[in-house]
Structure 1
Amino acid sequence: MINIEGIMNKNFSVLKNEATNENTSPKRLDTLANIPELAHLVAQNINTSPETLTKLAAHDNENILKAIVSNANTPTEILIKLGDKFPQELANNPIIDLWLLEDNNPLFERNKLTELLAKNPNTPINLLKILAQSPDYLVRSEVAKNTKIPISLLEQLATDSDKKVRQGVAENDNTPVSLLEQLATDSDKKVRQGVAENDNTPVSLLEQLATDSDKKVRQEVAKSPNTPVSLLEQLATDSNHDVRIEVAKSPNTPVNLLEQLATDPIDNIRCAVARNKNTPIKLLEKLANDPQKLVSSVAKKN
């Protein structure tokens, strides 16, 4: 009796060897790519033509797509389309080294690939290092915000000529205190705002930023969960009403400061006190009789 299954297995084994053999012609590989069980092997083969790889890129099978992104013959437009989904495979692609020698290096351009790779926490360090040298400041700024970049890259980007890049470093949760101290004296107000926003900024720096000439920096200090009561007391008397509003909103503002701000001449500040969940009932009752309707209405609802 003929063993049909055995013959089929033997035939498949032959086809599999063809799909993996680097000496198989591109034309034959294109034919083998039509066999679903062999498609991922064809996608891995360094002799597979760009045309076949483009055809295989229409698949939704992850193993096939990973193999395509790893293959040096894959057209640049396909790598741009798929590279951010499989950053490790892209990092392992030999084409990256060739791109670095080209004038039109796709990793030095702002496109879908570079934007998404710069943001992706799974992007390998070697790719992030390349992106950190991009001539496009927006790509560098996204790298600066990436929480997975090493300290060495944060140090490099903290001295970037573009303020948006330095702001990204200032906002990064992994930026060490030594760099936050450096950026707290930056000439650009948005960089200093980024330091004030950072949850890792120590009290000593918040104290420094609480006297900043820019009101938005002082606002961010008032918003910070790390700001001590002593600083909130200082900011509660700030000359700018937007800063005082942030103190009135803060869940860390003590009752005595809420009582003080409840008499502020600015309606929006009294309204913020009325909305604050820590405002005691006695103070809410007082604000319920505020001459400004919005204040009294909010106090009655709190």
Structure 2
Amino acid sequence: MLDFPDELSELEPEAKSESTTAERLVELARRSQELARIVAQNPYAPTHLLKELGYSHDVLTRQAVVANPNAPTDILLNVGGEFPQQLLDNPVFGLLWLENPDLVAAMPQRTLSRLLESLRGQQELLEIVANHSSRSIRYHAYRVLRKPNCAIACLERLAGSEDGEVRSAIADNPQTPLSILERLADDPDDNVRRSISRNSNTPVSWLIKFANDRSDDVRANTARNPRTPASVLEQLSRDRVQSVRYVVARHPQTPLSVLETLAAEPDVNMRCAVTQNPNLPVGVLEKLAQCSETSIKRAIASHPKAPIVLVRGLLYEGAKWFRGDVARDSQSVEILERLARDWEPWVRQGVAENRHTPTILLEKLSKDETMEVRLKIAQHPNTPATVLACLASDRYLKVRTEVAKNVNTEIEVLKGLARDRIAPVRQAAQIRLQSFL
């Protein structure tokens, strides 16, 4: 720290000056954090000092180093992933390509990934990455091309790529214009047509065509597309490939007559797929509940339209493993309330894991006698801060550790856990506290 408040203003011009010697800049940078930040911006700072500052604990110092044109290449590439905009703005970044035409291969994966998150990075690098000889590097292009925020100009330029995975990624992107998708609709690569068949913007006329595609995957993804009309689903319900028909059974737009036909098939997997349809009528659920297969009964018991009376009967018949699975999947508050009172800890633990469990039940289960149940409550993303505060004094270190990790835990509780007598609890709390700095 500086000795006097006015000392920074006195030394700042010297820290910025191009005429200050390298030895003096080193001395100034080590004198205070404030001066280190200023020295890090000086384009005449020696490279060995900038390398040292590039590993500083201070974020602003590291950021200034990445923006400095005199920073060593290894620092720019390693620390640049933390500050991609500063790296792209650094005037020396363009010159690095002259020194090493395969610069993307020399970059850490994190840096390359962060650079491609920005539109400017995509404009400058995406085509290079997509055409690279290494698939591990091209993977970054595949990932970016699927993202909604990918630059349309990049999608346009790369739609004619010889790499089928590039074209498939573009066809997957929900923001890809129809003009580009139309060019890819008759692509000889099955994976490209598969991507278009599952794209939520694919026109119905194309889906009708894809329902007759030679590829099983294309037809299956056509059956999965939310825009696929009932007439096409009816056609695909008679597909020669059973896996395609399973997808039809799950589609919310599949006509009732088709569901009834599929539900009557002897294939257990088909009937199980039918029970996963969110719009399945109660009558079909009741009929399927008469079967002996546990997998079908479990799906029915977790179905949002299943009558309470029907579910109660299935729970009464089922073993603890059956009730536990229902407890993890059910969206019915009444069923979850019933299972929260179950005598088996495994079942109550299932309720504690369920993302649909209401807050009042989470609070009740936080006082459960079984540690595993309380542990799941401590991990639950919807557990209120007041409940977590109570669990912070739990006698089991696993519970306290999960409380420290939970994003809903308040800072005052974390401060208390940071003083816990057990090291793993303290460490978890300290990590969370750092996120508040």
Task: Tell me the TM-score range normalised by the shorter chain.
Answer: 0.7 to 0.9
The structure-2 alpha-carbon separation of the partners of 1:82 and 1:200, relative to structure 1 and needing over 3 Å to count, comes to: farther
Cα offsets for 1:14-35 (capped at 9, x unmatched): 2111112223223222222221
Question: Which amino acid is 1:73 matched to?
Answer: N
Matches of residues 219-258 of structure 1 in structure 2 within 5 Å?
Answer: 219-258=220-259
Matched, 1:145 2:140: no
Matches of residues 32-181 of structure 1 in structure 2 within 5 Å?
Answer: 32-34=28-30, 35-107=32-104, 111-113=108-110, 115-117=112-114, 120=117, 123-134=118-129, 135=132, 136=134, 137-181=138-182
Q: The residue matched to 1:166 in structure 2 has which SS?
A: helix
Following the alignment from structure 1 to structure 2, what is the Cα–Cα distance between the partners of residues 164 and 37? 49
Q: The residue matched to 2:52 in structure 1 has which SS?
A: helix
The structure-2 alpha-carbon separation of the partners of 1:9 and 1:284, relative to structure 1 and needing over 3 Å to count, comes to: closer
Asked whether the equivalents of residues 184 and 192 of structure 2 are also in contact (C-alpha less than 8 Å), the reply is yes
Please state how far the C-alpha of 1:255 moved relative to its aligned partner. Answer: 2.0
2:283 alignment counterpart: 282
Question: Which amino acid is 2:246 matched to?
Answer: I
Following the alignment from structure 1 to structure 2, what is the Cα–Cα distance between the partners of residues 110 and 167? 26
Matched, 1:217 2:214: no
Cα offsets for 1:125-179 (capped at 9, x unmatched): 2554323223243243234234333222101111111111111111112210111
Asked whether the equivalents of residues 219 and 242 of structure 1 are also in contact (C-alpha less than 8 Å), the reply is yes
Following the alignment from structure 1 to structure 2, what is the Cα–Cα distance between the partners of residues 169 and 263? 40
Matched, 1:22 2:18: yes
Q: The residue matched to 2:139 in structure 1 has which SS?
A: helix
Following the alignment from structure 1 to structure 2, what is the Cα–Cα distance between the partners of residues 30 and 76? 20
Q: The residue matched to 1:37 in structure 2 has which SS?
A: helix
Gaps of 5+ in 2: 304-437
Please state how far the C-alpha of 1:72 moved relative to its aligned partner. Answer: 1.8
Percent sequence identity is: 36
Following the alignment from structure 1 to structure 2, what is the Cα–Cα distance between the partners of residues 149 and 128? 10
Q: The residue matched to 1:41 in structure 2 has which SS?
A: helix
The structure-2 alpha-carbon separation of the partners of 1:130 and 1:242, relative to structure 1 and needing over 3 Å to count, comes to: same
2:370 alignment counterpart: none
Asked whether the equivalents of residues 126 and 141 of structure 2 are also in contact (C-alpha less than 8 Å), the reply is yes
Following the alignment from structure 1 to structure 2, what is the Cα–Cα distance between the partners of residues 266 and 223? 20
Asked whether the equivalents of residues 104 and 112 of structure 2 are also in contact (C-alpha less than 8 Å), the reply is no
Cα offsets for 1:160-209 (capped at 9, x unmatched): 11111111111112210111122221121111121122222222222222
Following the alignment from structure 2 to structure 1, what is the Cα–Cα distance between the partners of residues 227 and 178? 14
Asked whether the equivalents of residues 118 and 143 of structure 1 are also in contact (C-alpha less than 8 Å), the reply is no
Q: The residue matched to 1:238 in structure 2 has which SS?
A: coil
The structure-2 alpha-carbon separation of the partners of 1:23 and 1:254, relative to structure 1 and needing over 3 Å to count, comes to: farther
Q: The residue matched to 2:148 in structure 1 has which SS?
A: coil
Q: Which piece of structure 1 moves more, 49-58 or 171-180?
A: 49-58
Q: The residue matched to 1:132 in structure 2 has which SS?
A: helix
Following the alignment from structure 1 to structure 2, what is the Cα–Cα distance between the partners of residues 99 and 90? 11
Please state how far the C-alpha of 1:10 moved relative to its aligned partner. Answer: 4.5
Matched, 1:186 2:200: no
Question: Which amino acid is 2:258 matched to?
Answer: L
Please state how far the C-alpha of 1:104 moved relative to its aligned partner. Answer: 4.3
Following the alignment from structure 1 to structure 2, what is the Cα–Cα distance between the partners of residues 145 and 118? 16
Following the alignment from structure 2 to structure 1, what is the Cα–Cα distance between the partners of residues 166 and 111? 15
Q: The residue matched to 2:128 in structure 1 has which SS?
A: coil
Asked whether the equivalents of residues 116 and 125 of structure 2 are also in contact (C-alpha less than 8 Å), the reply is no
Question: Which amino acid is 2:151 matched to?
Answer: P
Q: Which piece of structure 1 moves more, 223-232 or 124-133?
A: 124-133
The structure-2 alpha-carbon separation of the partners of 1:109 and 1:215, relative to structure 1 and needing over 3 Å to count, comes to: farther
Gaps of 5+ in 1: none
Please state how far the C-alpha of 1:49 moved relative to its aligned partner. Answer: 2.1
What is the RMSD of the two structures over their aligned residues, measured on CA atoms? 2.4
Q: Which piece of structure 1 moves more, 235-244 or 19-28?
A: 19-28
Please state how far the C-alpha of 1:39 moved relative to its aligned partner. Answer: 1.7
Following the alignment from structure 2 to structure 1, what is the Cα–Cα distance between the partners of residues 19 and 110? 32
The number of equivalent residue pairs is 295
Following the alignment from structure 2 to structure 1, what is the Cα–Cα distance between the partners of residues 258 and 28? 76
